[in-house]
Structure 1
Amino acid sequence: MDIHSRPILIYRWIVFLLAAGYCLYQMIGGQWTGAGGPFRYLTIWALFLSFFAASRMLALSEHRITRRHEVTATCAAVLNVMVVFLYWRLYLTDPSLVNGGGPIVWWLEYYLHALGPALQIIDALFIGKVFRRVWRAALPLIAIIAAYVAWAELFVQRFNTKPVGDVTSGLPYPFLNSMEWADRAMFYGINGATALGLLAVFGVIGAVLYRIWPRQVAA
């Protein structure tokens, strides 16, 4: 599959423009009622990482860059899978665990937690074929997760009073505020390990898929 072909260019423009539009919406109309604004949420970190990855994939298809940004796309894919899995697992258990029981905005929630991640992962897996040496993304991925945990615990919690839980307040997701620090640390650790597990899964999928369907090298 030629990444410079017209169909791929159209696809990557669609992915880029959608991500750009939702990023712009978050900057202008996002939840700025608390310190950190929409960046309190891991979903928005994943959105902006997806936007950056989409911009690099588009630039590559347009011959504006030569660096493939495989690590960027890999980290975005893993982070998106984590966000989708965590969100829907918690939402289907009890919506108040993630949104305090308030109504969802369907066109926003379904893009952030379904369509957007799917579009990015399709590009990474089938078009960019980035899951070759996935071990290169392990440290950047853990660094992103650690940075988010530090941001949530040291800044977001300190400067926000809501949501309120049984143990603390201010952490971005309501359920976290009902967990002791030791339990939260275990939760963060498990999710970090899950991220590395997902990275390994993508590596296995890539190893199998790309042997069957090798990447086309443009002339």
Structure 2
Amino acid sequence: MEIIGDRKFVEIPGSDTHELPPLLVRASAEVNRLDKVMNLANELVDAEDMIPGLPIDDIADPASVERRKMDLAVNLVEQYLQFVTAWQWGDGILEWIRQCETTFEFTARLRNLLRPDVWPHAGRSSFVTLLTDKAVSASGLPLERAVGMRLTFRQPPPISCFSNQFLFYLNLPVAQSAYETWAHMSPPNFSLPPERFSFQVVKM
């Protein structure tokens, strides 16, 4: 075990660099019929009373009210597309972790690093930390939250399943909490030395 600052790293025999499977991610949000998503967002604005009825609205220009609704709907769609993008990154990362686990299992020098009965050992969250150490960016979103989003939802729900509160305020805390719970399911997890691994990030 090697300790650098407050980080603890597993030790890997030899000095070779190990090639890991490529990380395949869908980097842009994939949704069916963006026009339908926009219509659902408009319905959400009305259903959630995001523009409450006020006396001034009685004399307000109807076109102005519609513009306010449209602006809110556009903001909701933007938040939803960010959610889908984060989910896709998380989905790609979890699949990559599964492939890395297989690679470790079939590599003699790496096989014992993931065994919980061997100390020190790495865990699944160690691969997320490795991605961060390698400066992999999930479209500006912290990787932990992208993984947390995928852990929370098996598939991205349609926008109509969400409240505006979730899209605007709650999705990131929920994702962070999901990731932290997942990461602590098999402590302690030591870090993997980033200089000993290489892989490609393929954005599809």
Q: Which has the higher helix share?
A: 1
State if a TM-score over 0.5 links the two structures: no
Q: Which has the higher strand share?
A: 2
Which has the greater radius of gyration?
Answer: 2
Q: TM-score, normalised by structure 1?
A: 0.30
